[in-house]
Amino acid sequence: MTEQIIDYTPEYWEKRYKEKLSELDTNNPTPSLKELLGSEYFSETGKIAIIGCVLCQDVTRFAQNNYLVTVITPSQSVINQTRKKVRKLKSVIETIYLDLFDLPGRLLHKFDYLVEYSLSTEIHPDRQLEYFDNIQKLIKPGGFLIIFLQISKNFKNDGPPYPVDIQKLENHLKENFKLIESKPKPTPKPENEFNQLLMVWRKFLV
């Protein structure tokens, strides 16, 4: 694959956020979230990081189920949107504005769960594994990585959005995680021309 240098600046993320807002923001939680919250993977509450989230109803759903929620995003607009939508909640939701390629620092091994909402499709394939390496360091040993991955035949290497090589990603994550579940799921907006793959990984204890 031809290397493509992209500077993932705050301006880049703000532009992509505004371009995708209408299709990503929704007043309904991700359809498979309720099922996940009732599964064995979420048998205990704990600290959960949500990466790049613009699905604020999911943030509130986790908070209402007694999880300590931290939203991590490179977009200030996402921070503002999240704060606005959760203002009336009694739960405390932390928002962190960070460069996703400059992790983990103080967030090392902080979270029991980490949810990734297809932000990887906004990153060129040459840097996708670097991105996953960064975010997986935030998870405690024994913790869970939940990936909602958008897949479409229309995703091209000259994106964004970009395709994600599922087999390559699985082979890479298997160095530190065990794949618990991988199956297609309904999308938040069925009329969109993409499929959604849910992947649940558990980090090795050692």
Q: Each residue's pLDDT tens digit in the chain (206 positions)?
A: 344 557 889 898 888 888 776 555 556 667 777 778 888 888 888 999 998 765 667 888 888 888 999 999 888 888 888 888 777 777 778 999 989 998 888 999 999 999 998 889 999 999 999 999 999 999 999 999 999 888 887 788 888 889 999 999 999 999 999 999 998 876 655 555 668 899 999 999 97
Which DSSP symbol is given to 31?
Answer: T
pTM: 0.89
Residue 110: partners with Cβ closer than 8 Å, 6 or more residues away: 47, 49, 104, 138, 140
> Cβ–Cβ contacts within 10 Å for residue 130, how many?
11
> What is the CATH architecture assignment of 51-203?
3-Layer(aba) Sandwich (3.40)
Residue 188 near residue 168 (C-beta atoms within 8 A): no
